[in-house]
Structure 1
Amino acid sequence: MRALLFLVLAATALFTGSAQAVLLGATSRDPNGLRRSVVSIENSLGELCSGALIAADLVLTAAHCVTDPAAYRVVAVNRAFKPQRIRIVALAVHPTFVTGTTPRTQPGVDLAILRLERPLGPEFLPLDPSLAGTIDIGDEVTIAGFGVLSEKRRQTARTLRQTNLVSLGPLEVANRVLIVVDRERLAETSGAGACRGDSGGPILASSGDSYLLYGITSWSSGAFRTRERSACGGLTAVTPIVEHLNWIRGAARNLTALEGAWARR
């Protein structure tokens, strides 16, 4: 495992990018599954990210997903997997996040919370961040998102997919993230992981018939042994939320208290 962590450090020299679909993921078709808790985030410039419901009208996502000077909306899918579009009326970005940097090189915390114009109904299931725990080396996690199946198939975005990965442990370069990879390929060759459109999507731990929210996807890389420059199929970098619960609670409380005003905290 030590050798694998060395490879993770070496991967910072590879081409990496914001994790903007779940590569090799299974399409989520269960109306009682993750579609209740995972949403996509779109802006008026055509950019796509993913996010996790943490209240009926609040979404936790990656901060770099909401830095464009654009209008934003959340898209949730109902039990029939039909999209419901809701405008975002306020947001809170972690105060240490540095706008204008890449997710991998920025030194702050890549988290943001969005407030929706109206709450989603009872057919949706918010995830409680306060139940998050730590993810140890070797633990299995689930990632979910609305991104593409591969970088060359951009038309495959906006479908919810999920897959299981394994943790290699924490990595600290400019900031602190957790690295998760395909258990079989271990990022040496292209395998399952986050891709274009999955930034801001949840990292989950299975708990019986449900899931616990443990982190948010920040960036991804290509595999070590690849002939093409890629930001998919290798490492998936996660911002673990257990380390930032105080900010999440405070920002959520402040956003809930707002009366529709646009805010950045």
Structure 2
Amino acid sequence: MKKLSRLVHFSLTAMFCSVLAVPAGAVVGGRVSRDPDGLRRAVVRVENSAGELCTGILVRPDVVLTAAHCVVDAAAYKVVGVDRRFRAQAVGVSAALLHPTFVQGTTPRTQPGVDLALLGLRQPLGSSFQPIDLAGVTRIGTGEFVTLAGFGVTRERAKGTARVLRETQLVALGPVRVRNHVFVVADPDRLAESDGAGACRGDSGGPLLVETAFGPRLVGIVSWSSGAMTSRQQTACGGLTAITPIQDHLQWVVDGTMHLSGQNWTSASGSSSAKGRGISR
């Protein structure tokens, strides 16, 4: 624990200044999630017609929580889940609700707002899927173990490894404020000093969860990731994973979820707070 404390208190600032940090992608060092009753019931892919990939988590049968920077392209979006028989189920996205403080055109690490978005689906994904319970959203402290899940690549530029749900265990390093407030996690053995497990390209919007006696509880949503301090090449994988803590913004998530759920959206106009930025129909 001395090593963990030393990294948290003395090394994080230097790391943010020296490593490349970009929107997160696939899970590095993770295992394939094969349990039909496990995280695959709630964790989904977010894809658009421009070929971009992110991850998200169901918070209602027809609403997905993800990162705001995942839905800013002028493109058509869909959400893809994998059912209990491991068959892909796709549903179109009809509306996107971005957190009102999110600043479009900035990178996740440098933008001063909150990197969260809710997606309203044209219809529920189906009975094979089970949304995460927002009533169970929780916080974590430094040193706690958490689970990261995502559909990203397993290493930089390995595009063929994406679109497979993987999960890995990480350790919480603590809260950090760059331009916004994030919570940072890393490989418990490497602590981002050398390449290890973490988010990579395609994991943005994916959930960070903590296991409890009552099942998994949502902690945060992946915003960006970086390479380790000793990475020999610029990479967005294997170092730090930064998440937006949901407890800090839970009321917005709950209100937005209720606003979007059950509505058959056909246009981006609905209210001034529900603009479908980045959603093409």
Residue 261 of structure 2 aligns to a residue whose secondary structure is helix
Contact 1:21 1:198 in 2 (8 A): yes
- 1:98 lines up with 2:103 in the alignment: yes
Give the structure-1-normalised TM-score: 0.97
Query: Alpha-carbon deviation of 1:256?
Result: 2.3
Q: 2:114 aligns with which of 101, 109, 117?
A: 109
Equivalence for 1:54: 59
Correspondence for 2:174: 169
Post-superposition offset of 1:257: 5.9
Counterpart of 1:148 in structure 2 is 153
Once the two structures are overlaid, the 10-residue window that deviates more, 69-78 or 115-124, is: 115-124
Q: Number of residues paired by the alignment?
A: 265
State whether structure 2 residue 46 is matched by structure 1 residue 41. yes
Which of the numbers 18, 21, 24 marks the counterpart of 1:16? 21
Q: Does 1:80 align with 2:85?
A: yes
Aligned-pair distance for 1:261?
Answer: 3.4
The residue aligned with 2:130 is: 125
Contiguous gaps of at least 5 residues in structure 2: 269-273, 276-281
- Check whether the contact 1:181–1:235 (CA below 8 A) recurs between aligned residues: yes
Instruction: Give yes or no for contact 1:129–1:214 (8 Å, CA) kept in 2.
Output: no
1:7 correspondence with 2:11: yes
On the 8 A contact 1:203/1:215 being kept in 2, the answer is yes
Cα deviation 1:187-230 (Å, max 9, x = unaligned)? 00100000000000000010237211111000000000111111
1:68 to 65, 73, 78: 73
- Superimposed CA distance per residue, residues 5-48 of structure 1 (whole angstroms, 9 cap, x where no aligned partner): 23222122211110021100000111111110100000000000
Aligned-partner SS, 1:85 = strand
Q: Name 1:180's counterpart in structure 2.
A: 185
Instruction: Return the letter of the residue paired with 1:46.
Output: G
CA distance in structure 1 between the partners assigned to 2:83 and 2:215 by the alignment: 18
Which amino acid in the other structure matches residue 11 of structure 1? Answer: M
Q: For residues 154 and 209 of structure 1, do their structure 2 counterparts lie closer, same or farther at Cα, with a shift above 3 Å needed? A: farther
Deviation digits for residues 98-154 of structure 1 (CA, Å, limit 9, x no counterpart): 000000000000000001111122221100223111110001100000000101311
Is the contact between residue 68 and residue 99 of structure 2 (CA under 8 Å) also seen in structure 1?
yes
SS in 2 for 1:84: strand
Contact 1:91/1:262 (<8 A) preserved:
no
Whole-Å separation in 1 of the counterparts to 2:264 and 2:128:
25
TM-score by length of 2: 0.91
Where in structure 2 are the equivalents of 1:150-229 lying within 5 Å? 150-208=155-213, 210-229=215-234
Q: Where does structure 1 lack aligned partners over 5 or more consecutive residues?
A: none
Structure 2 counterpart of 1:244, from 235, 243, 249: 249
Task: Look up the equivalent residue of 2:15 and give its one-letter code.
Answer: A
Give me the whole-angstrom Cα distance separating, in 2, the residues matched to 1:218 and 1:93: 14
Paired residue type of 1:10: A
Superposition deviation, residue 2 in structure 1:
4.3
| RMSD, aligned α-carbons | 1.2
